[in-house]
Amino acid sequence: MHINNGKTTIGCECISMQQCNSHSHITDSRFFREGYATDEARKVFCDLRRMQRWLDVEVALVQCQAELGIVPATAAQRLTESARLENFDLEAIQNDISTTGHSLVPLLREWQRITGGEAGEYIHFGATTQDIQDTAQSLELKEISNIILRDLASVIVTLGELTQKHKSLLMIGRTHGQAALPTTLGLKISTWLDESLRNFERLQRCLKSLLVCQLSGGVGTMDSLSEQSQTLIENFAIKLGLHVPMTSWHASRDRGAEFLSVLALLTGGLGRIANEICQLAKNEIGELAEPFHNGQIGSSTMPHKKNPELCEQVVVLAKLCKSNAATGLDTLINEHERDYRAVRLEWIAITDSALFCSAALGMMKKILPGLQINQDRIKDNLNKAAILVSTEALMFMLGEKIGKQSAHKLIYRTSLNCNDNISDLLEKLSRTPELDDKFSLQELQQAATPTVPGQATTIIKRLIASIDYEKLGQAQKAIISPCSLTGILCR
């Protein structure tokens, strides 16, 4: 804000309106977009790719209609040849959208102009706009899901390696933010791994119902698609690599809502990992830390800071995906046979969540391979809290002679009398009348020495054995479409 001669102006005088770019959404920001989307994922949702997908779906429709004799084969051939967005007047399309307020008709008008002749009369033959756009969105989701599954598979493989490598690294297990019992770092990471595996399966299951075509006509009756409508939609689905829905889903938006919910679960799982790393990176704990490189700056005022920026951003993205999942549930209630309000919500929520999820996965692919594990600090913290994390083992040992419940009461009462000097616990226990020289101080000290929990390695082995590495390998090798379908540069 500037004040010149008593007049207030908004903005920066050194930047003209001509110089300003239109990248107002944070995912497209010239400076900050890396924190909210990957370039690869962003290109999936490029405006030009979206319009080319609409054309691709229209072409698939007219080709299937020609194969069934519904439209002339010559018309289908000409439309196939002309459906190349690089030959279209994009400015004319943009102006026509502003004039008509319609998302698809301006593209079809330009396609008819490019095609010329009688063939143009068979454009969009028997379909409604949402048939084309919903089907194209399914293709869009198929592409972005391949990217998400590929990156999640990579995260899972890394988590598996970390789990096995540190399966016996003893550390403090914490509950309610306080020292509880001994655990191992490998067992902690195994819960991250297990949750990630479930999210991988969730997304794969979701895709089975999500990736369907739409070809139902104005109100779902398929009346304008000829008597061969069922054969037509089956051929249409095969050509596009999608499934056939049982009924129209113009007003049934549960598929998109499920996808958004799965992305929220997936990204939330990554957020839990990132948040745990943040907590264990605190100065007073110092057990884990995200990678930090020379030249990275944690603070403008405190030069020593090594803030967990990546982990914090993953948590931010998880919260954004959670909010969009709620938006997805808002799409479930629609009026009658079609209602565009839900579709327009999907265009925002699905795009943003997919971008956020991809960004979170990209960050985890940087964090986990470079995860800093301070084994000396882990051991030191454990030694200092040895008595605290061993009270369960101590209770069971005492319970062999005085009963488990009596042992619980005895340790509880004695620990309260120790105040802040919990190291006195063993000595005071050895002098209590209840024990009556039943255990020596040396025996109590041995019981209070943390050891690897008996079932930790067994749990880890069982989990690792359950992993389908062949399926993960296939996901990691998924072929992702090139940036442009038509040679046009995606921006």
All residues at 6 or more sequence positions from 446 whose CB lies less than 8 Å from its CB, including other chains: none
Closest C-alpha among 82, 169, 84, 75 to residue 122: 75
Q: Hey, which bits of 193-296 come out as E strands? A: 288-289
% pLDDT > 90, the chain: 63
Tell me if 366 sits within 8 A of 358, measured CB to CB.
Answer: no
Amino acid at 212: V
Express each pLDDT in 58-97 by its tens digit.
999 999 999 999 999 999 999 999 999 999 999 999 999 9
Mention every residue, 6+ apart, whose C-beta is less than 8 A from residue 417: 428
Q: Distance of alpha carbon 274 from its chain centroid, rounded?
A: 13
Predicted pLDDT of residue 422: 65
109-118 pLDDT, tens per residue?
999 999 999 9
Confidence of residue 480 (pLDDT cuts 50, 70, 90): low
Distance CA 132, CA 124 (A): 9
282/179 Cα distance (integer angstroms): 15
CB 209 within 8 A of CB 262: no
* 22 φ/ψ sector (left φ>0, alpha ψ -120 to 50, else beta): alpha
Q: Is 487 helix (H, G, I), strand (E, B) or coil?
A: coil
Between CA 174 and CA 180, with CA 177 as vertex, the angle to 5 degrees is: 30
Question: For 127-142, how does the pLDDT look when each residue is reduced to its tens digit (9 = 90+)?
Answer: 999 999 999 999 999 9
pLDDT class for 491, splitting at 50, 70, 90?
A: very low
Neighbour-count burial for 167-205, b at 16+ CB within 10 Å, e otherwise: bebbbbbbeeeebbbbbbbbbbbbbbbbbbbebbebbee
List, for residues 408-457, the tens digit of each pLDDT value: 988 888 888 776 566 788 888 888 888 877 877 888 888 888 887 778 99
Least confident of 186-195, 407-416, 461-470: 407-416
Select which of 224, 299, 423, 440 is catalytic.
299
86 close to 66: Cβ distance less than 8 angstroms: no
Instruction: Tell me what the pLDDT averaged over the chain comes to.
Output: 88
pLDDT higher at 159 or 179: 159
221-246 pLDDT, tens digit each: 888 888 889 999 999 999 999 999 99
Residue holding tokens 């051929």?
A: 235
Confidence band (pLDDT; 50, 70, 90) for 481?
A: low
pLDDT, tens digit, for every residue of 353-365? 999 999 999 999 9
166 carries an active-site annotation: no
Q: What is the band of 304 on the pLDDT scale with cuts at 50, 70, 90?
A: low
Residue 176 annotated in active site: yes
Question: If you average pLDDT over residues 177-206, what whole number do you get?
Answer: 95
Q: How confident is the model over 3-33, as pLDDT tens digits?
A: 555 554 445 555 554 555 567 788 887 887 8
For residue 344, name the pLDDT band (cuts at 50, 70, 90): confident
The torsion angle over the Cα atoms of residues 342, 348, 353 and 354, rounded to 10 degrees, is 100
C-alpha span between 10 and 353 (Å, rounded): 32
- Check 16, 24, 98, 176 and give the catalytic one: 176
| Helix (H/G/I), strand (E/B), else coil: 117 | coil
Asked if 215 and 233 touch (Cβ cutoff 8 Å), the reply is: yes
CA-nearest of 126, 102, 101, 123 to 112 is 123
Integer Cα distance of 113 and 100 in angstroms: 17
Mean pLDDT of the region 315-337: 93
